[in-house]
Every structure is written in C-alpha cells, then in structure tokens.
Amino acid sequence: MAFAVLPSPFVALYPTSRHDRATPFATLSDHIMLAQVHSFVLQGIDPIACEVEVDVADRGLAKTTIVGLPDAAVKESIERVRSAISNSGYPFPISRLLVNLAPADIRKEGPIFDLPIAIGLLLAQQAIETQRHKRLLFAGELALDGRLRSVNGVINLAILARSMGMQGVVVPADNASEAAAVGDIDVYPADSLASVVSFLNEQHDIEPHPDIDVESILSDQPPQVDFRDIRGQEAAKRAMTIAAAGAHNILMIGPAGTGKTMMSRALAGVLPRLSRDEALDVTRIFSCVGQIPKGQPLVTHRPIRTPHHTASSVAMIGGGMVPRPGEVSLAHHGVLFLDEMPEFPRTVLETLRQPLEDGHVTIARAHSSLQFPARFMLVAAMNPTPKGAKPTDQAGQREMDRYLARISGPLIDRIDIHVEVNAVPYKQLAAAPDGTDSATMRHRVIAARRIQIDRNGGPLHPNSSLTGRQLDQLAPFDPAGQELLRQAMTELGLSARAYDKIRRIARTVADLEAVSDVQAHHVAEAVQYRLLDRDI
C-alpha cells in the first residue's frame, strides 16, 4: 500500500522565509509594510536626525511596541495617534505594530513624535500615496480629534533640516513663525493631521510660512528704571557703563538702600540689542524649555534672569535625568542678576566658576556628556554685612569679613569689576535728578561695542571674551601703562587671572574714549575696580 507524504506541521507554522510564496503554506506568513519618516531628537540643545520607522504586519496579535529609548510621553503617543487617525477618518490597523525611533541609543522624550508616527502608519497602509514625505521633517503633538498642538525645540528642527539639505519642515501652525526665523527652508504650518495627509497626497497645498526678517523685529530692551532716577552714585554708574560696554561681570557692594538693585534693573536699558546670531542662539535655548514668548517667532530682547537665592544647583546650572538648561544658559547673551549674593548657598555659587571662565556648562552623565552655552554677564549685589549696614567698629569689621568669606576667592577672582556703592547724602536725595541718564550711557556703550565688533571680529566677541593672546595683540599698553600694571601686580599680589581682567577692563575704558592704545590712566581706572583683592 502506498502512503502519501504530508508536509511537517512545523513547516506550516514556521516557514523558512517570511516572503516565500513558492510553498503552499506561504499564505500563512505575515505581509510586512514598512515606512520611514524623518524627525528629530534633541541632545541638550543640539538637534539630531531621528528616523521614525513604522512596521505594520497584516497578521498577528494586535500589539503595539515602541522601541528606541522612549520616555513615558513617547510611549503614550500611540494612544493619541490611534484616536487622532480614527477621528480624522482614516483606518487604524488592528494588527502587530512596531515603531522604532533611531538612533536607539539616545533617549526620546516629549510628544514631538506624534505626527511622524501617524504619518508612518498612514504610509504603511498606503493612505498616503506619494513620496513627498522623503524631503520633509515632521514634528508635532496630536490632539485626540487630530488637531496639531505646538511642541518645544522647533527652531532646532528647522536648523537641522537646512543643514541636511531637506526641502522643508511640517510643524504645528503655532510653531511655524519660530521655524521660519531660521531662513532658507520651507516651513509648512499645519493645523490638523488631515491637512498634512491631504498635503502629502497633493490634494491641496499648504503655503509655506513667509520668511521672518529677524533684524526688523529685534528691538531694544525697554528699561524698567532710568539711571537718571538714581540719585548720586556717579562712580557706580561709570562702572556699570564700563561693564555694559565690554560685557564684564560686576559686583556692587554697599549698604542697604543705596540703589544697587535699581541700577541692576536699569542696566537693560543701556545694553545693545541682540544681533541676529545672538537672537537665534538665545531662541534655541528658550525653545528647548518652552519659554518662547507667545505670539513671537523668537526672543527679541537680551534675557535678564534673576533667580532667587533659594535656587538649587540644578536650577542654576542645569541637569536632571534628561539634562535641561539652567539659569546660566537661559541668561546666554544676557544678564544673570544675583541679588544679595552671599545669601545663595556656597555650593550653588561655586557651580558658577566654570561657566564664568569657559562660557559654557558641561553636564556629565553615565551615558553621555552634554554642553550648554552660558556666556552671560554676571551682575551681583551684596550688603557688607548680614544686617545691611557698613561696619563702624572692629567687631563690625570682623562681621563683614565673615560675610564676605561666604564668597570664595576663586569666584571673586572671576568677577571683573568690584565697585563700592556708598550711601547717598540727604542733599543729593532731595535735589532734582541731574545725573547721568540711561540714554547717555547707552550711546557710549553702543559706540564702544561698534569698535569691538570691528576689531574683535563680530558681536559675539566683546572684550570680556578676549584671550590672553588676543589681548597681547588687540590691547597694546603704552610704557607708562605697562609700568603701572607691573606695580599693581607686585604691590597688590594679584593673580594671573586678575592680570587679564585688568587688561580687558582697560581695553574697554580705552574703547569708551575711542583710543587705540591703552594708556596709563585707563590702567589706573581698571586697577581700582579690583576692590576685593585688597581690604575695602
């Protein structure tokens, strides 16, 4: 008797090739539909290209998996995507879904992947029939009804798309002006998932957002206080003018009620406005933390940050499980004002040493090390004693020494200008205001900054950023100035860092006078601002 040879049941269950259609059991294999969509992920404030891969199997258990180091918000995105697709009139696949966010070794956070995941799912189901998406980058949060909500970091997406040579970006309408500020890239503002699908299917067009003329929207910082309203204190106003002209750090020391805080608030009115490059740098940082002013395409004023003395080290410097910028980075190209500086915890103050020296913050984690820009102007104020009054006897002097000791010597050494702010006598308080006003100071500051831009190589290089080698070339001293500096270094016992600080300040004083060579009286004025390098 002859017996028929039947195929093994294991062959039917586990075919040798998922796409092998030559065997009678190939109909049981899964049909794989794969789509790739371009998006981005932020590492610190730097954008990195992220490819969203969506794999849809037409058979198998209905299960959705997202891989590629997603955080909770990314894992939850599939539920938002499911509802948004269904409520927009498109079918959602009831099968095995796999979403991969590459590169897989960088942690993904936030809802920015809602839109690219939805586009990938619709591509895999052939609901989108063109290849238009290949030249575009996508980002956006989806509401349950398919509307697009704004997300953070969109300006970085536009910068990445331009550097990759892509055609443009598709972003929520509320983010479009921010992305358009980058220029040289098409920005397509979308208000819903359905509009994006129709755009990709070429059923209707989305007009690119007009380019933003950044220079035209940058404006001067309106001063909260005019320096004219501050009675007396002409020496302190002179020091503030020098600090603003060269972007130097400054510390004001004086009894309570002498106008230190008022002068700090008035400083914004004498600083030059942001340049285009500075505005884009600041906007990148603020966009990452969602602090772009509503209705504005970018930050138009120099940032003025005033953290409270209860701020932690992480709040000041940045950090967290997924590191975020802190106050020093949010003050980039602006001012960080510390009122009553000794009241800040010493551990917090010590974290300022690296950014004051290097102009950036490095945050190290086990898996990576991130760098945030932090080139800011430090403006600090303090009373001579905890009681606020200047000491009048030996006991008061010891109290002042203990109070000043809360600020370490290396940190004091990194502050360019130390200026004493004395109490204003009654006669000046009662007189009509006739001192230097903000308009006069601003005129001097802008004139000095123009000199620095021409000499130092642009607005990103004020005198405070000059290296020792650059100072040798750009700040030549006359013989009398060299001799005066030698005497000051010898008699006051100043550090090598203080030596460069004096040279930078003297260079700025000379710029305020529009003089090319640094002269002896410029050096003399710079030396007197090293107040805490000797007894007050």
Domain boundaries, the chain: 1-29, 31-200, 227-456, 466-536
Phi-psi region of 320 (alpha: psi -120 to 50; beta: other; left: phi over 0): left
Largest separation between any pair of C-alpha atoms in the chain: 129
pLDDT at 22: 39
pLDDT band at 49 (very low <50, low <70, confident <90, very high): very high
pLDDT band at 369 (very low <50, low <70, confident <90, very high): confident
Instruction: Find out whether 132 and 200 touch, Cβ atoms under 8 Å.
Output: yes
> Which one-letter amino acid corresponds to residue 487?
Q
Q: Which two tokens stand for residue 494?
A: 């100043």
pLDDT at 32: 52
pLDDT band at 28 (very low <50, low <70, confident <90, very high): very low
**Taking 80 as the threshold, does the pLDDT of residue 60 lie above it?**
no
pLDDT at 106: 87
**Taking 50 as the threshold, does the pLDDT of residue 357 lie above it?**
yes
> Which one-letter amino acid corresponds to residue 316?
M
Model confidence pLDDT, tens digit, residues 285-340? 999 998 987 778 899 889 999 999 999 999 999 988 778 899 999 999 999 999 99
Average pLDDT, the chain: 87
pLDDT at 534: 59
DSSP for 251-264? EEE--TTSSHHHHH
31-200 maps to CATH 3.30.1490.190? no
Q: Which two tokens stand for residue 475?
A: 């700040």
The CATH superfamily of 227-456 is P-loop containing nucleotide triphosphate hydrolases (3.40.50.300)
**Taking 50 as the threshold, does the pLDDT of residue 1 lie above it?**
no
pLDDT at 334: 93
**Taking 70 as the threshold, does the pLDDT of residue 6 lie above it?**
no
pLDDT at 121: 93
Choices 1.25.40, 1.10.8, 3.30.1600, 3.40.50: CATH for 466-536: 1.10.8
Give, in degrees to the nearest 5, the angle at Cα 413 between 489 and 256. Answer: 115
pLDDT at 238: 95
pLDDT at 522: 95
Query: For 167-179, what is the mean pLDDT?
Result: 95
Query: For 235-247, what is the mean pLDDT?
Result: 95
**Taking 80 as the threshold, does the pLDDT of residue 207 lie above it?**
yes
Sign of the CA dihedral with 338 first, then 330, 110, and 319 last: negative
Q: Which long-range contacts (CB under 8 A, 24 or more apart) does 128-131 make?
A: 128/197, 128/200, 128/201, 129/201, 130/200, 130/201, 130/202
